[in-house]
Structure 1
Amino acid sequence: MDPAVSAAHGGRVLAGLVLAAGAGRRFGGPKALVRRDGVLLVDQALATLRAAGCQPSLVVLGAQADQVRAAADLGGAVVLDNPSWPTGMGSSLRRGLAALATSRADAVVVLLVDMPGIGAAAVRRVAAGAGPDTLAAASYRPGRPGHPVVLGRAHWPGVAASADGDVGARPYLRRHGDQVRLVPCADVADPADLDRPADLDRLEPGTIEVSS
């Protein structure tokens, strides 16, 4: 691992995980293959994690995984296949956490591929000081957790056990609400998710911050 990256997180290892396995039925196809400002959403999400100092960065693919691999620039990322992707996002989160179990990561930032308005500034803010016991989430309304979410290693088994269907970490965060650090991010991120093509028009043209 780059010593500069480790130093930026107080010597702790912060991983990044992009969930990008869905079929995007309401959108008309996998959102990993959608372009915003000429860049695939999956590439933008990975660039966001790299710019925020997340290493390793993992991406979970499912629907049309071969097409995503062919179209995207996934160099430098750990690419995971989720054969259970039709069951929902929960299986992709479990797949990513299982892969990280053998890593040195102390915590992981979880980012959804269909939320391109969340950039590196929000990731850095939510992940500040993250360690093995961290539970943190961006907040755009008082008392309401949003994305990105940061999960410390100590919580991974519990999160995996509760992630089911189209539900990811939300049930675990709700049960452990007294431990969740909510970080206001409305000034640096747009939490809109893209369900349909028209939703792209709601987002301001974005610039993708890349790591130097």
Structure 2
Amino acid sequence: MPSLSERPPAKHRTAGLILAAGASRRLGRPKQLLPYGHGVLLDAVLATARDCGFDQTVLALGGSAGEVQRTVDTTGCRVVLNPDFGEGCSSSIAAGLAALHPDTDAVVLLLGDQPGVRAESVRALLELLFTGGPGSGRGVPGIAVCRYEDGLGHPLAFARRMFPALAALHGDKAVWKLLEQRGDDVAALPVPGTVPPDVDTEEDYRRVLAGLEGAL
């Protein structure tokens, strides 16, 4: 029998929302376009998204959007430009949600600067969201989050009933406040290893590159 991570969610329409609209102020150059593997950072995230089996993939861009679109192959993505990207990632979430197919049952948030996320984790996260997990007696959750060995982290999955609350968020870390507020509606997926690093600084970038070299 296939494991959770090998079984694509059935009878549900899913979407991936990639948040890649940041201005990279701390880094000082577009982090979406940092060299990574055989391409750039965002290429790796898009490759993971394509492997997840989403019915729709939405890519939210803002800072350096023109350069990103000229450099990165966004084939298969619905690109959404967020003019309010300076107000934090919540503005990109709202813009992305507005572009979803009206019959979408769940959306997974992926960070455009976090290439270490694995597609099998996303598929297992969706399975948890739709079923509550093996032997679950708590019902079906509205939110599913990855629990790594050092804490909670992306990706995050949200059921359709949570979309209005997601769209109403404001600021950069509001999604985590939503998880705290809706704690009874959150299920956590155990994922081996530590939270995959995202990139805000040059030190973060070195960590991400070190992780890539370690995986080779």
Aligned to 2:178: 172
Shift in Å at residue 104 of structure 1? Answer: 2.0
- 2: distance between equivalents of 1:21 and 1:178? 31
Q: Is the 8 A contact 1:13 1:55 kept in 2?
A: yes
Aligned to 2:42: 42
Partner of 2:212, secondary structure, is coil
Aligned to 1:114: 113
Aligned to 1:147: 154
Distance 1:22 1:50, change over 3 A: same
Aligned to 2:166: 159
The structure with more radius of gyration: 2
Matched, 1:70 2:70: yes
Aligned to 2:207: 202
Partner of 2:99, secondary structure, is helix
- 2: distance between equivalents of 1:207 and 1:160? 38
Aligned to 1:4: none
Distance 1:200 1:65, change over 3 A: same
Matched, 1:22 2:22: yes
- 1: distance between equivalents of 2:96 and 2:108? 11
Matched, 1:137 2:142: no
Shift in Å at residue 148 of structure 1? Answer: 0.3
- 2: distance between equivalents of 1:169 and 1:13? 22
| Range that drifts further, 77-86 or 119-128 | 119-128
Partner of 1:8, secondary structure, is coil
Unaligned runs of 5+ in 1: 1-6
Shift in Å at residue 155 of structure 1? Answer: 0.3
Distance 1:184 1:83, change over 3 A: same
Q: Is the 8 A contact 1:20 1:31 kept in 2?
A: no
Partner of 2:53, secondary structure, is coil
Partner of 1:130, secondary structure, is helix
Aligned to 2:133: none
Partner of 2:129, secondary structure, is coil
Shift in Å at residue 207 of structure 1? Answer: 10
For 1:47, the aligned partner's letter is A
With normalisation by structure 1, the TM-score equals 0.85
Partner of 1:10, secondary structure, is coil
Partner of 2:198, secondary structure, is coil
Unaligned runs of 5+ in 2: 1-6, 131-139
- 1: distance between equivalents of 2:141 and 2:183? 14
Shift in Å at residue 133 of structure 1? Answer: 5.6
When the two chains are superposed, the root-mean-square deviation of aligned CA atoms in Å is 2.2
| Range that drifts further, 35-44 or 21-30 | 35-44
Q: Is the 8 A contact 1:22 1:86 kept in 2?
A: yes
For 2:188, the aligned partner's letter is L
Could you list the runs of 4 or more consecutive aligned residues of structure 1 that deviate by over 6 angstroms after TM superposition?
Answer: none
Q: Is the 8 A contact 2:16 2:110 kept in 1?
A: yes
Q: Is the 8 A contact 2:149 2:195 kept in 1?
A: no
The percentage of counterpart residues that share the same residue type is 36
- 2: distance between equivalents of 1:97 and 1:145? 23
